[in-house]
Chains A and B, each alone.
Chain A
């Protein structure tokens, strides 16, 4: 049986298998069709119906279930919904267990959240450091380009303030008002 305890391990393995079988396009389609539109349809329905309030309900539940130690914070302010992920339970599982088949596991989040936000009328600012830390800001489509200043939205909880936000040798992936997993800034 495929279990949920080590889900992130076989999920990550699956990205690599799909890419070997059908190329990058099949992995993108998987994130969109299987995860965003099918598996996470409850998130899609909540956010399309309730906007920021739906995001708070969805991620408040999901992150608490996946990360009982609460390695994250959620911040809501007028016009923006922000997540600071200090200790990603999913990436952390892979790192602790030395699992890597796919070249960038972290891309899957933009792969399924991006289309959901686009269809719900939002755009995303996002950075991830591949080490279990990332941040997300969702705003209505049409928001002015550019990232918020460090601490501007979530204050002292801003993950960019962590001393290990940019560990030596790490690669920071960045998105600006994006919804496409391939829309990383150069």
Chain B
């Protein structure tokens, strides 16, 4: 029987939480694409994923504004096992404060070699999705805890400094 677990997500499953071992596959996918196609190929993959696969979410954000962004991230992390996250709405932005990244946590617990660029994926993917929705996105921190900011253009966020995103370490 199909039981939508998270109505604020465009895709729903019959179980309330995802299977954490899939983080292994995401990490391995990054390693494969980086090895075969280089950093530029990996960035292109994430940007096209953001504009393509996530198009339904981007439309929700475009239509619903920052309230839709906040609802989405609350529902998203509620379905990710092991996450500790706070989503804060402000007049011109939404901050997603990730205290415990569920992916980094599970990869470490499983003894996996984490792709050092892993945390950058949230920026490349998130900024492509934000841009499609008429927003801007910035990321700081990484390596297990970080802060995503989705903002209106009027917020005037400073350009992203990729050096502000930490490399993932064992």
Contact = CB atoms under 8 A, between A and B. Distances in A.
A1 B103 contact: yes
Given A5-B18, A11-B25, A68-B15, A34 B53 contact: no
A19 interface: no
A39 B13 contact: no
Contacts of B110: 42
Contacts of A22: 36-37
A93 interface: yes
B103 A34 contact: no
Question: What's the interface size class on B, roughly?
Answer: 35 or more
Contacts, number: 114
Contact of B19 (A7, A10, A34): A7
A40 B18 contact: no
A10 B9 contact: no
A7 B18 contact: yes
Interface in A1-55: 1-7, 9-11, 13-14, 17, 21-22, 26, 29-30, 33-35, 38-40, 42
B103 A65 contact: no
B29 A34 contact: yes
A6 B52 contact: no
Most buried by A among B20, B52, B126: B52
Contacts of A97: 10-12
B32 A10 contact: no
B33 to A, nearest CB: 8
B49 A10 contact: yes
A38 B15 CA distance: 26
A33 B29 CA distance: 9
Interface of B: 2, 6, 9-15, 17-29, 31-32, 36-37, 41, 45, 48-49, 52-53, 76, 79-81, 101-103, 110, 121-122, 125-126, 148
A14 B36 CA distance: 14
Interface in A72-112: 89, 92-93, 96-97, 99, 101
A1 B41 contact: no
A40 B24 contact: yes
With most chain B CB atoms within 10 A of its CB, the pick from A3, A10, A92 is A3
A62 interface: yes
Contact of A99 (B11, B27, B79): B11
B48 A3 contact: no
Contacts of B26: 2, 4, 7
Contacts of A17: 45, 48-49
Contact of B36 (A5, A26, A42, A69): A26
A96 B12 contact: yes
Given A4-B22, A93-B13, 17 more contacts: A1-B76, A1-B103, A3-B18, A4-B20, A5-B17, A5-B18, A7-B25, A11-B22, A14-B49, A21-B37, A22-B36, A34-B29, A35-B25, A42-B110, A89-B13, A96-B14, A97-B10
